[in-house]
A = this chain, B = another copy of it.
Amino acid sequence: MNNTTLKKISEMLGLSISTVSRALKDHPDISDKTKQRVTELAQALDYEPNANAINLRTSKNNLFGLIVPSISNFFYDSFITAIEEECRKNNYSMMILQSGDDAAVEQENIKLCRQNRVCGLFACITSQTVNLDAFNKLGNIEVPVVFFDKVPDDSSYNRVCVADALSATIAANAIIEKKKKKVLALFGNKNLSITKKRLLAFDIATDNKIKSLVAYVNNAEEAEQVTSKLLKEKPDTVFCMSDEILTGAMKAIQKEGLKIPADIAVIAISNGFIPKLYFPEITYVETSGYKLGKLAFSSMIACVAGSNFMQELTIESSLVAGGSI
């Protein structure tokens, strides 16, 4: 680890450190001859500025933290991709951390972000997160936090979400339009605000029009088990609140040997990848992680620029027709 430093260059050239620093920045004060000498040697010695020193000195590091339950997820994948594109464009770096949906790890991650003095944090909270103190503390030192997807209920936070209620309503209406009578509706963890919102909207839209069997599941396996069991009640449609749930439900349906859409219709809220894996493709209400990422970034930039205005932003969803309903 013998990195080239400004000092080294300055000594070799008989210049002061500050002159070298300026030359490398193409500062107007410095003569062209000096600039050339400096840049040439820097090149030769393969100089790269020490980011730690710069960050320390300038006390800004253009680093965002990003905490997500898992990067192995189609939705978060595309969210991260969007953020990353914007970061590169705007000269920011990003520290990606996974919570594993574990509140303790989430705390660790927040600490890491603080220690690295991130200038902003994108956070998708775990399903058990109840204490938001650690996030609040970031706010206290003027580090903006933009929550996405799984967000706190409290409206005193910046939040960007997919249109939870709307997407559930769209799905419900699609089911109603097809004159379905009995839907098995699979939702995620009932503590999550995302679940509550989707459920409420779904209930309102289907009320008095469709009989619905509602079930809460925590993962794909539970979705499969529950679906297997409730298929016995002969629903004519299965609605899945998320991709993960969809994968579980589909397995149960395949196991039962049911034909889609003849024997049973399927509709989901999804990012789009999973529904296209099957034949016929599953009809879904699109909630784009990519679009959400772009939205989150612009919200973050506004915060960094000084906006103290807390808001909840939402991306629109729309129905993507497959052949499953």
Contact = CB atoms under 8 A, between A and B. Distances in A.
A128 to B, nearest CB: 19
A132 interface: no
Contact of A72 (B52, B77, B137, B251): B77
Candidate in A108, A112, A252 with the most chain B CB atoms within 10 angstroms:
A112
Contacts of A1: 59, 117, 119, 141-143
Interface in A54-89: 55-56, 59, 61, 70-72, 74, 77-78, 80-81, 84, 88
A52 B278 contact: no
B279 A255 contact: yes
B46 A50 contact: no
Interface in A85-105: 88, 93, 95-96, 98, 105
Given A1-B142, A1-B143, A52 B55 contact: yes
Nearest to A247: B277
Contacts of A71: 71, 77, 80-81
B72 A78 contact: yes
A74 B273 CA distance: 12
Chain A: number of interface residues, binned into ranges: 35 or more
Contacts of A52: 52-53, 55-56, 61, 116-117
A216 B322 CA distance: 28
Contacts of A56: 50, 52-53, 56
A3 interface: yes
A251 B281 CA distance: 9
A266 B268 CA distance: 27
Interface in A173-199: none
A48 interface: yes
Nearest to A72: B77
Nearest to A48: B114
Contact of A279 (B61, B112, B251): B251
A246 B1 CA distance: 43
A49 interface: yes
A243 to B, nearest CB: 11
A51 B278 contact: no
A273 to B, nearest CB: 8
A155 interface: no
Contacts of A131: none
Contacts of A48: 111, 114-115
Contact of A251 (B80, B84, B277): B277
Given A1-B142, A46-B137, A51-B117, 15 more contacts: A1-B117, A1-B143, A50-B115, A50-B117, A53-B56, A71-B81, A72-B77, A72-B78, A72-B81, A81-B98, A84-B98, A88-B108, A93-B116, A95-B95, A274-B277
6 nearest A-B pairs in the assembled complex, by CB-CB distance:
A254-B279, A72-B77, A255-B279, A48-B114, A51-B115, A52-B55
5 contacts: A1-B117, A71-B77, A72-B74, A72-B81, A88-B105
